[in-house]
Amino acid sequence: MSNTELSNEETKLSHATLPRGAQWLVGIAAIALGGLALVLGVSIVGAVVIGVLAFLIGYPVWALLVENKRSATDKLVTGLVWTAFGVAVIPLIWLVYMVFARGAATINPEFLTYSMRSVTGDEQGGLYHALMGTLIVTGIAALISIPIGIMTAIYLIEYGKGNRLAKAITFLVDVMTGIPSIVAGLFAFALFTLLVGPGTRFGFGGGVALSLLMIPTVVRSTEEMLKLVPDDLREAAYALGVPKWRTITRMVLPTAIGGIVTGVVLAISRVIGETAPLLVASGFNPNMNTSAFDDSPMMTVPVFIYTQLSEATQKGVEYAWGGALVLFILVMVLNLIARIVGTIFAPKTGR
């Protein structure tokens, strides 16, 4: 091929591009289209859907006409990712807003320090008894679940890898992960009916019911964290003659402690808002009861919310929103504690 022919072979290394801020122009046009649909009588949800679809279609089509197919595909996928993010985050933000907006008006010192004992009509009452019950029942569940869950995970990863017992335990843990929460409550109620007597409802029974829901989450999360610890770390310890139990306690667990703590807190957050098992196993009680082993029901915050809503009164609805806000704050505090503990005990990196 001659030099003249080579010079005629042009390779396009660049192409036309969209103007700067093109996404904002398309976004404004999509908002305008959604607003027009709203003026024409379309619902708010329908107008939002029209605007989102207009952006998802318009932006890639413009890129296809001006740039190329690859750029259009990139912009389409990027738009879909951001749309999925919005679909996930917007309801969450709306939920947080509703809980704080509706529940903040109910929160006051009396609401947090009074029980519902002998409260009738519009008399002042509170959820102090339910808050203490939730802390006691959840604490019992954590005391049962955390040691069992962590040690089970250690056996599955460190000792029973590949054997039949480990496979059977893994299968049972997976089955327990999917059981309905009401089944855990019924199991605890039936168990203590046989051990104590018919109709037994008390705080310890609620703790046992919640532990059945917590253990699978603790096992699976701890198991995944232990899998992330490099085998080289274990082999180096074994090469130095360190016993296996000491390797696990001094090297493996400290390395995975951040993820383990996070998994434990997620398990607690998963059960702290359960209503059905506590309603069955612990019952409800308008009076203060701080003994988990007394043969009397113990109120918890989720059951308090349920009972207040079941009254179908204005005061009951307000108290239910106040209880929801208190429960939400409890979960936030637990997650904050998990972050702090995970940061403190995480293995130090750097030189």
What is the predicted pLDDT for the residue at 314?
A: 85
| Residue 351 pLDDT > 70 | no
Asked if residue 136 and residue 84 are part of one domain, the reply reads no
**Domain housing 261:** 113-345
Asked if residue 160 and residue 93 are part of one domain, the reply reads no
Please report which confidence band the pLDDT of residue 334 belongs to, taking 50, 70 and 90 as the band edges.
confident
Asked if residue 69 and residue 30 are part of one domain, the reply reads yes
- Residue given tokens 């079941």 in the structure block: 310
What is the predicted pLDDT for the residue at 59?
A: 86
What is the predicted pLDDT for the residue at 15?
A: 63
What is the predicted pLDDT for the residue at 14?
A: 59
Please report which confidence band the pLDDT of residue 349 belongs to, taking 50, 70 and 90 as the band edges.
low
Among the three residues 103, 127, 157, which one is the final residue of a domain in this structure?
Answer: 103
Structure tokens at 119: 């409260």
Among the three residues 50, 72, 103, which one is the final residue of a domain in this structure?
Answer: 103
Asked if residue 265 and residue 157 are part of one domain, the reply reads yes
Residue 204 lies in a domain: yes
Asked if residue 153 and residue 196 are part of one domain, the reply reads yes
What is the predicted pLDDT for the residue at 11?
A: 42
> How many structural domains is the chain composed of?
2
Per-residue model confidence as pLDDT tens digits over 235-293: 888 888 888 889 998 888 888 888 888 889 888 988 898 888 988 888 888 888 888 88
* pTM for this entry: 0.79
- State the CB neighbour count (10 A cutoff) for residue 105: 12
What is the predicted pLDDT for the residue at 325?
A: 92
Structure tokens at 266: 């997620």
Q: Say how many Å lie between the first and final Cα of the chain, rounded.
A: 59
Residue 3 lies in a domain: no
Asked if residue 140 and residue 82 are part of one domain, the reply reads no
Asked if residue 187 and residue 142 are part of one domain, the reply reads yes
| Residue 181 pLDDT > 60 | yes
Give the per-residue SS3 of the chain: CCHHHHHHCCCCCCCCCCCCCHHHHHHHHHHHHHHHHHHCCCCHHHHHHHHHHHHHHHHHHHHHHHCCHHHHHHHHHHHHHHHHHHHHHHHHHHHHHHHHHHHCCCCCHHHHHCCCCCCCCCCCCCCHHHHHHHHHHHHHHHHHHHHHHHHHHHHHHHHCCCCHHHHHHHHHHHHHHCCCHHHHHHHHHHHHHHHCCCCCCCHHHHHHHHHHHHHHHHHHHHHHHHHCCCHHHHHHHHHCCCCHHHHHHHHHHHHHHHHHHHHHHHHHHHHHCCCHHHHHHCCCCCCCCCCCCCCCCCCCHHHHHHHHHHCCCHHHHHHHHHHHHHHHHHHHHHHHHHHHHHHHHCCCCCC
Question: CATH no. for residue 283?
Answer: 1.10.3720.10
Residue 351 lies in a domain: no
Among the three residues 85, 103, 121, which one is the final residue of a domain in this structure?
Answer: 103
Residue 235 lies in a domain: yes
Asked if residue 150 and residue 74 are part of one domain, the reply reads no
Q: Please, which residues have CB within 8 angstroms of residue 109's CB and are 6 or more apart in sequence?
A: none
Residue 12 lies in a domain: no
Amino acid found at 229: V
What is the predicted pLDDT for the residue at 137?
A: 93
Asked if residue 159 and residue 66 are part of one domain, the reply reads no
Asked if residue 51 and residue 144 are part of one domain, the reply reads no
141/203 Cα distance (integer angstroms): 10
Instruction: Over range 197-226, report the average pLDDT.
Output: 90
Asked if residue 146 and residue 37 are part of one domain, the reply reads no
Asked if residue 324 and residue 225 are part of one domain, the reply reads yes
